Copies of this chain bind each other. A is one copy, B any other.
Amino acid sequence: MQATLIYGAGDVRVENVPDPVLREPTDAIVRVLRACVCGSDLWPYKSRAATEEGERIGHEFLGVVEDAGSQVSGLRRGDVVVAPFVWSDNTCDFCREGLQTSCRHGGLWGANGVDGGQGEAVRVPQADGTLVKLPVEEDSELLPSLLTLSDVYPTGNHCAVTAGVGPGTTVTVIGDGAVGLMAVLSARRLGAERIILMGRHQGRTDLGRDFGATDVVAERGDEGVEHVRQLTGGDGTHAVLECVGTRQAIETAFAVARDGGTVSRVGAPQYDEVPMGFGEFFRNLTLTGGVAPARAYIEELLPAILDGTLEPGRVFDRTVSLEQVPDGYRAMNDRAALKVLIRP
């Protein structure tokens, strides 16, 4: 079968790899219907050292169960399923608490002999815990929105939930990438009173307005902070959803937070330290968030997609075949595409 491998910065290839087979009785084999490219795939794409051997890549996919091990009880051949971007047993104490990203028996896709998601098929470890059945057919028009349940939508949702967004909350969302837009959608869903989206790409911020942003701030750095403060009577917002991951973004986040407010971050940090000294201490600012336990949110987010109320799949603005995946990476890296859908 065909799958995507990364060999180094800028070097993503689609190659023949062995068909996946069941290795553990808790495995399932899933034929991929849709996958996509994540903003976090761009970090290795920008910086990975070149290697002779490629490594499977991709961690967002949905597909059809083709086979299941003897200990898999909740799935059968033909089920349409979505996989969260971390696999987990969903039974350990961390999973039961909704922190499947810290599962005692879980792990990452495309690492330690586990397949990546950007291919024709995937061996899924801990299939009963990892996969969530979707009540749709293989040709459903909802597949793009359902695929967002794998990562980008729960990630935006995790950001809004951990920031404590609810009715009456004022929110700043930093970043108009796919995660930022999902954070807007999620803040709206949770009842935020006002949602200020910081982003400079009009096509994206327009979609952000559709998803619920009430204001857009295009400036960055000090000017951006000043603009948000102007919009909020000098105070900043209760919640700040940091969806970028750079040092500038997290600095901006603290600067636009209201005293007593919460900054939540879901952009993978490209920094080791954050500025939380005496000033932030005296203002009682909280920093929360982290890698999103997507699995914990899927059941809750699913109904509004199934009934058409919410369309998170609108973040996909380009569709490629498996052979075209390298073009998809280039397009996202060049910001020519917001988020690329893959149809193997």
A101 interfacial contact with B, CB 8 Å: yes
Decide yes or no whether A268 CB sits under 8 A from chain B.
Answer: yes
Q: Contacts A260-B102, A274-B273 hold; do A285 and B281 have CB atoms under 8 A apart?
A: no
Mask: chain A, 250-280; 1 = CB below 8 Å from B; 0 = not: 0000000001100001001101111111101
Q: Does A324 contact B (CB under 8 A)?
A: no
- Cβ-defined partner of A271 (8 Å) among B260, B277, B291: B277
31-76 of chain A: CB within 8 A of chain B: none
What residues of chain B lie closer than 8 Å to A290, measured between beta carbons?
A: 280-285
Which residues of B lie under 8 Å from residue A316 when comparing CB positions?
none
Contact (A275, B277) CB under 8 Å given A99-B284, A284-B289, A290-B285 = no
Size band of the A side of the interface? Answer: 20 to 34
CB contact between A265 and one of B94, B260, B281 (< 8 Å): that residue? B281
A40 to B191, CA, bound (A): 41
Closest to A103 in B: B259
CA distance A281 to B162 in the complex (A): 13
B260 touches A97 (CB 8 A): yes
Decide if A321 is an interface residue (CB 8 Å cutoff). Answer: no
Q: Does A319 contact B (CB under 8 A)?
A: no
B283 touches A276 (CB 8 A): no
* Cα distance, A284 to B99, chains bound together (Å): 8
Tell me how many chains of this kind the complex includes.
2
Residues facing B in A187-230 (CB within 8 A) are: none
Tell yes or no: A288 within 8 A of B by CB: yes
Which residues does chain B contribute within 8 Å of A271, judged by CB atoms?
277
B269 touches A101 (CB 8 A): no
Bound CA–CA A76/B309 (angstroms) = 60
Of the candidates B260, B275, B285, B289, the one whose C-beta lies within 8 Å of that of A273 is B275
Q: Which of A288-342 contact B (CB under 8 A)?
A: 288-291, 293
Question: Does A232 belong to the interface (CB within 8 Å)?
Answer: no
Q: How far apart are A47's CB and chain B's nearest CB, in angstroms?
A: 14
| A287 part of interface (Cβ distance < 8 Å) | yes
Judged by a CB distance under 8 angstroms, whether A169 is at the interface is: no
Contact partners of A275 in chain B: CB under 8 A? 272-273
- Whether A2 sits at the interface, judged by CB under 8 Å, is no
| Alpha-carbon distance A275/B269, docked complex (angstroms) | 11
Inter-chain contact B273/A284, CB cutoff 8 Å: no
- A288 contacts B286, C-beta separation under 8 Å: yes
Chain B residue nearest to A291 (CB atoms) is B282
- Cα distance, A293 to B274, chains bound together (Å): 24
In Å, the complex CA distance between A260 and B101 comes to: 10
B273 and A276 contacting across the interface, CB-CB below 8 Å = yes
27 contacts between A and B (CB under 8 A): A94-B259, A94-B260, A97-B260, A99-B284, A101-B282, A102-B260, A102-B283, A162-B286, A268-B281, A269-B277, A269-B281, A272-B275, A272-B278, A273-B273, A273-B274, A276-B287, A281-B289, A281-B290, A281-B291, A283-B290, A284-B289, A284-B290, A285-B290, A286-B286, A286-B288, A287-B287, A287-B288
Q: What are the 3 A-B residue pairs with the smallest beta carbon separation, nearest first?
A: A284-B290, A272-B277, A102-B259
